[in-house]
């Protein structure tokens, strides 16, 4: 057996996040669906994608657009049925593309049969599937925990006079992971999908599952304003007791042994912005990997970029999932300028991610350089749109994929579920595919260049920049990556016999081995 036979499939792979409702609508009802994804497999294969992470597709009342699951082992009719799912898995596999699903184990929908039962009263056999507590002596919530979406993490239940806990909406009650029955239920759920051919799972809210056994209040850092911005509310507390409890690891270790039976990829939404914190969440026998979110929070500034990649890369290495955007944050080109400069910067960041240890993932439409869609205020659908003062909610990054210049940008013949302004023709896949120097072509070439280069797994990164100044520069094995973060041209000098194998704009090696890099430009070279 050679080393490459034993290497897990995700090492060296490149992922693509599909927000299923907005990807491709096959039956023109306004919602993306599985048949729609199937119709785009050739597009994704051509782009050079290795795996798809598909956001939740289970039956759901859609209070949080699918992250409120009412049944874990089925498909919401909006997206198709289990046969459609099986057909997608088969077709993707035939094209060499793996399928990663999204597991939501922290909470269910309040319409899940477990919660409907649990709600009947303290004697119900499902009561302990959730977290119930008596009121504080003053009748208020049992402790000071707040929800990620703002407001208290507790909702009063009239029937029993107790509170139940939720890290997100009241329609998303948290499961009680100290109940061994929950562990057993989820073993079955995971096997159900792994048996159907799923190649991995992204674990939603991976830090949330276990809560402090004594439900102690969190230390308050700044006075909590229950009416304030949702991020400010959450950051008013040090989250010592509600999230990132050490006991979570026992769950991941258990799941890891199941995943390893199937050779499947177990990774999580590990929303912690400290490199050492991320490293602690990923000891060797737990999840294979975790998403790193700091790059979604930085300004375009060389020291911030370095801060968001160098240390974590050293501490966490191959276990990192790199992403510039997702369905939860404004699109990266929007954050970095909302124009062509923002698009170039996002591409440059993806070039940096692409040759570091770890797994890069782009969010649907990133390959078209998409900025946020324009959703008129009255059409916003995100439940946090109103109290997310920082970003105005998550609708802008969730608008339908612009496939063509047709009505609704070729996404659907019907008005899409989320209404947004028609995109400019130049933003569509149709206009960009095959066109030299389109964003699509730059991304496609990046992915294909990456595939054509030697496998870098296990090789260390050497930073060649001074740690200051606008140029970011590293080498890993035979490959070098250089990015100019400034708004002026910068020149670097390569060693003899270097060869440029990828560039985001016109750049040439001069006879003296110098390369002038335009603002936000990036290139990749092979050294001698
Ligand atoms: C994760 C998802 C987000 C969802 C939340 C609650 O953060 O990415 O979209 O709202 O979990 O499930
Ligand atoms: Ca549809």
For residue 328, which atom of ligand 1 is closest to its CA?
A: 9
Pairing of strands 479-484, 461-463: unpaired
Q: How far apart are CA 131 and CA 125, in angstroms?
A: 13
Report if pTM > 0.95: yes
Q: Exposed (0-12), middle (13-18) or buried (19+): which is 500, by Cβ within 10 Å?
A: middle
Q: Which of 261, 340, 424, 514 is catalytic?
A: 261
Q: Which ligand is nearest to the CA of 106?
A: 1
Q: What is the pLDDT of residue 2?
A: 47
How many C-beta neighbours within 10 Å does residue 451 have? 13
Dist. CA 371 → ligand 2 center (Å): 24
When pLDDT is averaged across residues 70-99 and rounded to a whole number, the result is 98
Whether 523 and 502 have beta carbons less than 8 Å apart is answered as: yes
* Residue written as token pair 């082992």: 73
Q: What is the pLDDT of residue 6?
A: 80
Q: How far apart are CA 83 and CA 143, in angstroms?
A: 45
- The CB-side HSE value for 201 (13 A sphere, CA atoms) comes to 28
Q: How far apart are CA 495 and CA 243, in angstroms?
A: 48
- Give the contacts of 298 (CB within 8 A, at least 6 positions apart): 304, 305, 307, 308
pLDDT band for position 5 (50/70/90)? low
Residue 528 in this model has a pLDDT that exceeds 90: no
When pLDDT is averaged across residues 384-393 and rounded to a whole number, the result is 91
Angle between helices 340-354 and 302-316 (to 10 degrees): 20
Q: How far apart are CA 167 and CA 151, in angstroms?
A: 10
Residue 289 in this model has a pLDDT that exceeds 50: yes
How many C-beta neighbours within 10 Å does residue 261 have? 10
Whether 398 and 418 have beta carbons less than 8 Å apart is answered as: yes
Provide the 8-state DSSP code for 132.
E
Q: Ligand 1 site: residues with CB under 6 angstroms?
A: 64, 67, 104, 168, 204-205, 269, 327-328
For residue 394, which atom of ligand 1 is closest to its CA?
A: 9
Q: How far apart are CA 153 and CA 159, in angstroms?
A: 19
Annotation marks residue 204 as catalytic: yes
pLDDT tens track for 450-474: 999 999 999 999 999 989 999 999 9
When pLDDT is averaged across residues 420-444 and rounded to a whole number, the result is 98
Annotation marks residue 261 as catalytic: yes
pLDDT band for position 428 (50/70/90)? very high
For residue 68, which atom of ligand 1 is closest to its CA?
A: 12
pLDDT tens track for 139-154: 999 999 999 999 999 9
Nearest alpha carbon, ligand 1 atom 12: 67
Nearest alpha carbon, ligand 1 atom 4: 67
Dist. CA 37 → ligand 2 center (Å): 10
How many C-beta neighbours within 10 Å does residue 385 have? 17
Whether 135 and 217 have beta carbons less than 8 Å apart is answered as: no
The three-class DSSP label of residue 307 is helix
Q: CA–CA distance from 442 to each of 44, 193, 432, 449, 515 (Å)? A: 15, 35, 10, 10, 19
pLDDT band for position 1 (50/70/90)? very low
The three-class DSSP label of residue 510 is coil
Q: How far apart are CA 251 and CA 255, in angstroms?
A: 6
Nearest alpha carbon, ligand 1 atom 9: 328
The full length of the chain comes to: 528
Whether 501 and 525 have beta carbons less than 8 Å apart is answered as: yes
Dist. CA 228 → ligand 2 center (Å): 37
Whether 42 and 95 have beta carbons less than 8 Å apart is answered as: yes
Query: What is the phi/psi pair of residue 500, to 5°?
Result: -75, 125
Q: What is the pLDDT of residue 405?
A: 95
The three-class DSSP label of residue 233 is helix
Dist. CA 56 → ligand 1 center (Å): 10
pLDDT tens track for 222-267: 999 999 999 999 999 999 999 999 999 999 999 999 999 999 999 9
């Amino acid at each position: 057996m050679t080393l490459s036979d034993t290497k897990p499939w995700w090492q060296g792979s490149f992922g693509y996040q599909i927000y299923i409702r907005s990807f491709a609508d096959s039956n023109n009802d306004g919602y993306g669906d599985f048949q729609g994804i199937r119709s785009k497999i050739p597009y994704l294969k051509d782009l050079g994608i290795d795996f798809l992470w598909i956001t939740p597709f289970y039956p759901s009342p859609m209070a949080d657009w699918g992250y409120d699951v009412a049944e874990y082992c089925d498909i919401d009719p909006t997206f198709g049925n289990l046969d459609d799912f099986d057909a997608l898995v088969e077709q993707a596999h035939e094209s060499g593309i793996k399928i990663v699903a999204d597991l939501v184990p922290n909470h269910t929908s309040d319409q899940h049969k477990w919660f409907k039962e649990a709600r009947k009263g303290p004697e119900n056999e499902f009561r302990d599937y959730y977290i119930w507590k008596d009121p504080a002596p003053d009748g208020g919530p049992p402790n000071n925990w707040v929800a990620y979406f703002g407001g208290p993490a507790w909702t009063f239940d009239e029937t029993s006079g107790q509170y139940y806990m939720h890290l997100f909406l009241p329609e998303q009650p948290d499961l009680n992971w100290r109940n061994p029955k929950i562990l057993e239920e989820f073993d079955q759920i995971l096997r159900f999908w792994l048996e159907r051919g799923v190649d991995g799972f992204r674990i939603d809210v991976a830090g949330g599952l276990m809560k402090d056994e004594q439900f102690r209040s969190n230390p308050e850092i700044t006075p909590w304003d229950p009416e304030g911005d949702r991020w400010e509310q959450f950051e008013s507390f040090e989250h010592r007791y509600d999230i990132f409890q050490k006991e979570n690891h026992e769950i991941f270790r258990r799941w890891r042994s199941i995943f390893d039976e199937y050779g499947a990829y177990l990774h999580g939404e590990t929303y912690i912005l400290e490199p050492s914190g991320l490293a602690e969440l990923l000891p060797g026998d737990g999840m294979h990997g975790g998403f790193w979110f700091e790059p979604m929070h930085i300004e375009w500034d060389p020291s911030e970029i370095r801060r968001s990649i160098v240390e974590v890369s050293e501490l966490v290495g191959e276990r990192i999932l790199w992403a510039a955007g997702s369905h939860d944050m404004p699109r990266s080109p929007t954050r970095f300028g909302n124009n062509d400069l923002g698009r170039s910067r996002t591409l440059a960041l993806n070039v940096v991610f692409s040759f570091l240890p770890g797994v890069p993932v782009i969010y649907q439409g990133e390959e078209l350089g998409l900025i946020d869609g324009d959703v008129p205020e009255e059409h916003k659908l995100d439940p946090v749109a109103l109290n997310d003062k920082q970003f105005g909610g998550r609708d802008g990054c969730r608008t339908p994929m612009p496939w063509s210049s047709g009505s609704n940008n070729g996404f659907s013949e019907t008005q899409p579920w989320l209404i947004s302004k028609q995109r400019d023709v130049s933003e569509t896949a149709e206009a960009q595919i095959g066109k030299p120097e389109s964003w699509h072509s730059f991304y496609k070439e990046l992915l294909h260049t990456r595939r054509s280069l030697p496998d870098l797994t296990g090789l260390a990164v050497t930073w060649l920049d001074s740690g200051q100044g606008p140029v970011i520069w590293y080498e890993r094995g035979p490959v070098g990556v250089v990015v100019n973060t400034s708004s002026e041209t910068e020149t670097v000098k390569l060693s003899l016999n270097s060869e440029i194998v990828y560039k985001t704009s016109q750049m040439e090696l001069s006879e003296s081995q110098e390369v002038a890099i335009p603002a936000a430009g990036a290139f990749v070279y092979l050294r001698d």
